[in-house]
A = this chain, B = another copy of it.
Amino acid sequence: MQILDRINKPSDLKALNKGELEHLAQQIREAIIERVGAIGGHLGPNLGVVEMTIALHYVFNSPIDKIVYDISHQCYPHKMLTGRKEAFTNLEKYKTVTGFTAPEESEHDFFTIGHTSTSISLACGLAKARDIKGDNENIIAVIGDGSLSGGQAYEGLNNAAASGKNIIIVVNDNDMSIAENHGGLYQNLAKLRETRGKAENNFFKALGLDYYYIEEGNDVEALIDGFSKVKDIDHPVVVHVHTTKGKGYQEAEENKESFHWSQPFNLENKATLTNGMPIETYHTIVGDYLLEKAKQDPKVVAITAGTPGSVAVNRVRKELSEQYIDVGIAEEHAVALISGMASQGTKPVFSVLSSFIQRTYDQLSQDLAINHNPAVLLVFGGGITGSGVTHLGNFDIPLISKIPNIIYLAPTNKEELKAMMEWGIDQTQWPVAIRVPSMPVVETGKVIEADFSKLNVYEKTIDGSEVAIVGLGSFYHLGQQVQETLKVEKGIKATLINPRFITGVDKALLNNLIKDHKLIITLEDGALDGGFGEMITRFYGDKDIKVLNFGATKEFTDNVPLEELKERYHLTPELIVSDIIKVLGQ
């Protein structure tokens, strides 16, 4: 009988002996590998913390004692030990849990988390609440070494130290972020590992924190011993644990970056199961372009905040390391850095995911936009998706485009994307952001004649009447479908417009529409509230014309299938045409 079968709650662990705990670790590991092989997911981070998680639940009493997992992409073993093992052992139930901690799933999860470096701050909140209520449980934050590159983690350490009360910060040190680590801290962690925690100038002690070191971070017994020493401690403490990312799956141990998050793969021959991928994507177009541009111009530098593989800078990283900077998970630093670089005539390009640009609003506004420095941002992953709630791409337009001075562009095809990158990088006047489309590549073969330095000039691609469709970025193609449907089904030849500029209104063009149009519709691949469409609607507010905005409702969605969202938000040609006809009263 599998030992895992006997574990339905953390307290069931306490009856196991050392050998059984080790067997349990093996069973958990096998289940994780099988599940990730089948449906994809975070592999390396979870394999590295199997023993640590067992030991935490063996020593502490969750949910009275409260464990917060930073970014929580290492929570699979935790879920398996807290009543959710079937989601890892039963193929049919794989999708019953998310890949992140989720309070709605279990009383052992305290927060929905998916962004980095927040766990210590959240744990400080739990600890302060405990102290106010006069309780005495343990509060534990589990944070990876990669997550320590984010400034908020430091703010958390600094404040935890000042609290003077029980907070146990477990540093899961596998010597990797998603990619390799960058930053002065990491030589300190390396020295601490080399000296078994005895190096001088201990970063954690410097911040006033007590400190323990555990070398055998994948040995259950050593971990139980270590955690037992800090249980019920009366002051803040760091337990620095040396683990092996991908532990127990050779491919993941050897290729830590590839297996941080993995596509489904074949357990027999290890081949990933995604061979049907198109050869050219907007991702490869950006990657190829950036490498070529950087080769031609040594002033071009590609910057990432810890996610080079997701934002198309891997080719520059591998071939032109002097023109590549990975700042760690430190988006705030990245934006101020590029402002400084651009102020001196170099050409920094910060490539970043929509969900993570949220981490640096103030620097976009203060350091970049107020200072008017001509750096470039490439925003990936913007758009409505069926993703988990912590990684939505709906909010970059409201966030970026309401900051004065930044020019935010929305290309609709390969040629435009390349022309906009070329203009953005070479111009010296504006901070420029470009929303890389999240869709299959559209190639027109046409030369882009536009001079983007003439701001807010929209392109009218079909000249019609009665209805005008303003289709932003990737939704320009939805606009084409709507235009076609209106023509074929309703006999209306609608005007079609590619606005190109998210951040401004083409007043002349929009004014010209009034005389022979009754209705303008806007289409945008993101949230309506604070979006592009509202700007257009305000422009027309006092004029004799109606406007309908299509996009996402202001809400957080969590793994809702995209097709369902398209129905919900009326983002299919049929639903849009139906809404148009209602307004026209035809």
A336 contacts partner chain B, Cβ-Cβ < 8 Å = yes
Closest to A139 in B: B340
Cα(A92)–Cα(B376), bound, Å: 42
Cα(A112)–Cα(B537), bound, Å: 34
Set of chain B residues within 8 Å of A367, measured between Cβ atoms: 111, 113, 118, 121-122
Residues 550-586 of A contacting B (Cβ, < 8 Å): 554-556, 583
Contact A151 B152 (CB under 8 A): yes
Given contacts A402-B527, A535-B534, contact A125 B341 (CB under 8 A): yes
Cα(A187)–Cα(B162), bound, Å: 9
Set of chain B residues within 8 Å of A327, measured between Cβ atoms: 155, 159
Set of chain B residues within 8 Å of A398, measured between Cβ atoms: 398, 402, 530
Cα(A332)–Cα(B156), bound, Å: 9
The 8 A CB mask of A267-293 against B (1 = contact, 0 = none) is 000000000000000000000000000
Residues 162-183 of A contacting B (Cβ, < 8 Å): 162, 182-183
Contact-residue bracket for chain A: 35 or more
Set of chain B residues within 8 Å of A162, measured between Cβ atoms: 182-184
The 8 A CB mask of A182-208 against B (1 = contact, 0 = none) is 111101100000000000111101111
Contact B555 A404 (CB under 8 A): yes
A399 contacts partner chain B, Cβ-Cβ < 8 Å = yes
Given contacts A362-B358, A530-B534, contact A547 B554 (CB under 8 A): no
A334 to chain B, nearest CB (A): 8
Contact B155 A122 (CB under 8 A): no
Given contacts A121-B333, A556-B404, contact A113 B366 (CB under 8 A): yes
A330 contacts partner chain B, Cβ-Cβ < 8 Å = yes
Residues 188-238 of A contacting B (Cβ, < 8 Å): 188, 200-203, 205-209
Residues 283-333 of A contacting B (Cβ, < 8 Å): 298-299, 301, 322-323, 325, 327-328, 330, 332-333
Tell me the number of copies of this protein: 2
A161 contacts partner chain B, Cβ-Cβ < 8 Å = yes
Contact B530 A159 (CB under 8 A): no
Contact A159 B534 (CB under 8 A): no
Set of chain B residues within 8 Å of A80, measured between Cβ atoms: none
A27 contacts partner chain B, Cβ-Cβ < 8 Å = no
A529 contacts partner chain B, Cβ-Cβ < 8 Å = yes
A127 to chain B, nearest CB (A): 8
A240 to chain B, nearest CB (A): 13
Closest to A361 in B: B361
**Interface-central residue, A150, A153, A344, by most chain B CB under 10 Å:** A344
Closest to A398 in B: B402
**Interface-central residue, A129, A187, A301, A325, by most chain B CB under 10 Å:** A129
Cα(A291)–Cα(B343), bound, Å: 47
A432 to chain B, nearest CB (A): 16
- Contact partner of A333 (CB less than 8 A), chosen from B126, B159, B328, B535, is B159
A25 to chain B, nearest CB (A): 30
Set of chain B residues within 8 Å of A207, measured between Cβ atoms: 183-185, 188, 203
Binding site for B on A (CB under 8 A): 68, 103, 110-115, 117-118, 121-126, 128-130, 132-133, 149-162, 182-185, 187-188, 200-203, 205-209, 298-299, 301, 322-323, 325, 327-328, 330, 332-333, 335-346, 348, 358-363, 365-367, 369-371, 389-390, 395, 398-399, 401-405, 519, 527-530, 533-535, 537-538, 540-543, 546-549, 554-556, 583
Interchain Cβ contacts under 8 Å between A and B, 14 examples: A118-B363, A122-B367, A125-B348, A130-B344, A151-B151, A151-B332, A152-B363, A155-B330, A158-B330, A161-B183, A358-B362, A358-B366, A404-B556, A542-B547
